[in-house]
Amino acid sequence: MGMAGHSKWKQIKHKKGITDAKRGKIFSKISQMITLAARGNDQNPGTNQKLRIAVERGKAVNMPRDVIERAIDKATNKNELVLEEFLYEAYGPDGVAVLIEGITDSKNRSTQEIKHLVSESGGKFASPGTVLWMFEKKGVVELPLEKNTLQTKEEWELSAIDAGADSINEENGTLFMTVPSQEIHLFVSALAKKGATIETSFIAYIPKTTMKLTADGEDRVGLFLNAIEENDDVQEVYANIE
């Protein structure tokens, strides 16, 4: 059971020595995610799963506590711009299927900018539904084995299966487990009861099947995905590549 689609997220999260400009950009993107998740009546990461995931993500890139708290406070400020989520579908170079997920205070502006960016970078916008079916929305949970010595790797895998994991994959000493997205909170709680230290958990679009690219294709697609990610409103880009 493969788990394609998660590595890039890790690369962003663990990027060492991010330049200050890049760090500022990542902080502002995660701040938007936190603010959006904290809207409504629940500003407590303990009970608001979406907020907990966003706050965890901030901590993973060493976002200062006061920046996280400011982002939560913004959610209750009536004068703040209204934020909304978007999900665009596109094809990149070499026919790669791409999902572009983000948060914006102006959907019209984002649509125009991202449409322009996609075509300028060698891709094309796809009509709703034509790409989405190639992906599954999953909860992804990371368990670093060196911090979880209460059980062996095999025992953790059995615990994960008992708790409802659909797939388990190991990469560089970390178990990556996927679960149906709505069950991520229950799954994390079940592993915590076994004494697990969970590094990170998040929701992602995982491709059902992946395509293998040539070395040239990888370069083309890499440049394309990076160009899309540079847009301030884009949170995540997913592609069906190995």
Q: Say if residue 14's pLDDT is above 50.
A: no
Per-range mean pLDDT, top range of 54-68, 71-85, 114-128 = 114-128
Q: What is the pLDDT of residue 21?
A: 65
The pLDDT value recorded for residue 48 is 87
The whole-model pTM stands at: 0.80
CA distances from 166 to 14, 93, 180, 234 (A): 25, 31, 8, 28
Q: pLDDT for 164-207, tens place per residue?
A: 999 998 888 899 999 999 999 899 999 999 999 887 888 889 99
**Assigned CATH for 7-74:** 1.10.10.200
All CATH 3.30.70.980 domain ranges in the chain, comma separated: 84-133+215-239, 135-207
Residue among 176, 185, 180, 181 nearest 166 (CA):
180
Q: 114-147, pLDDT tens digit by residue?
A: 999 999 999 999 999 999 999 999 999 999 999 9
Distance CA 57, CA 45 (A): 12
Q: What is the per-residue pLDDT for 62?
A: 86
Q: Is the pLDDT of residue 52 over 60?
A: yes
135-207: CATH number: 3.30.70.980
> Span 55-63, mean pLDDT?
86
pLDDT of residue 9: 39
- What span, in angstroms and rounded, lies between the C-alpha atoms of 27 and 19? 12
For the chain, where do the domains classified as CATH 1.10.10.200 start and end?
A: 7-74
Give the per-residue pLDDT at 193: 94
152's enclosing H/E stretch is: none
Reported confidence tier of residue 20, pLDDT bands at 50, 70, 90? low
What is the reported pLDDT for 42?
Answer: 83
User: What's the topology of domain 84-133+215-239?
Assistant: Alpha-Beta Plaits (3.30.70)
Confidence grade of residue 19 (pLDDT, cut at 50, 70, 90): low
**Average pLDDT over every residue of 151-170:** 93
